Amino acid sequence: MRLELLKWPELDAVRGKVFVLPLGSLEQHGRHLPLMTDTAIVTEIAGRIERAAPQDVVLVPTVWTGHSPHHDHFGAISLDVRPYMDLVGSVCRSLVGMGARKILLLNGHGGNDVPTKAALREIKSEFRTIQDLYFVYAAYWTLASDAFGHIRRSPPGGMGHACEMETSVMLAIHPDAVDLREAVEGGPRNEGKYRRLDMLHGQPYFIVNDFHELSASGTIGQPQLASSAQGERFLEAAVEAVLDLIREVATWDYQSARRSDT
């Protein structure tokens, strides 16, 4: 079900379902991909999830802007940490007010990670008297990391930003928005194990970088390896991984969790 298509009297009937809130961004994605890439991909994944399980999922419209100050050099619409936390918190409060008790925030942009988690910690504290309330946060590429590892053609360092995966998916869903003639390999892929940036191989430390310090083109990875067929495989893997999480979240309840402790 799609939240925006429901009438208010229908909200009572969907309270027990998993509400899926996609989180995107509007930021540069190299010379070959559009600014909407993160939002387009996470919206596509979420839409496929809703179509696969319309009776189990309530799909919330995508939050199209994110926390992207590291992309300002090239171009982005970015919210600072506090405004982004307030935005996410306000949407979640509204969903709780509608009766939602299981809310999955499905992330499509890495920069959203820290402020989203902080926002959920705040709002959970506000609603701690509601014992059956779950706020779940996950990035689709993390959930599907094993499958993505088998699908990818690039070595570690080849999938970072505007990379093989994102370019492949955009070729599958918005081919007219992709200009492969401008796709170039970018990023510090071969500058030592602690400088290798890859969405499936996270760094064991945190460092603050602006994107132009890492890549002259705004790309990290190997977009030249992309294809629409690969994109469809990445999409299918992401959808199945997120659905697997949703199926389990749908079964969670605090009473069962408490009984398991006794």
Determine the topology of domain 10-253 in CATH: Rossmann fold (3.40.50)
Name the residue with tokens 């504290």: 125
Average pLDDT, the chain: 91
**212-232 pLDDT per residue, tens:** 767 778 888 899 999 999 999
Residues 6 or more apart in contact with residue 237 via CB below 8 angstroms: 144, 147, 148, 151
pLDDT tens for 143-173 read: 999 999 999 999 887 788 899 999 999 999 9
pLDDT of residue 94: 98
Residue 260 clears pLDDT 60, i.e. is over it: no
List % helix, strand, coil for the chain (3-state, nearest 5).
50, 15, 35
List, for residues 12-64, the tens digit of each pLDDT value. Answer: 999 999 999 999 999 999 999 999 999 999 999 999 999 999 999 999 999 99
What span, in angstroms and rounded, lies between the C-alpha atoms of 57 and 3? 10
Is residue 108 within 8 A of residue 223, CB to CB? The reply is: no
What whole-number percentage of the chain has pLDDT above 90? 75
pLDDT of residue 71: 83
Q: Which two tokens stand for residue 99?
A: 């009766």
> How far apart (Å, rounded) are the C-alpha atoms in residues 13 and 4?
15
pLDDT band at 72 (very low <50, low <70, confident <90, very high): confident
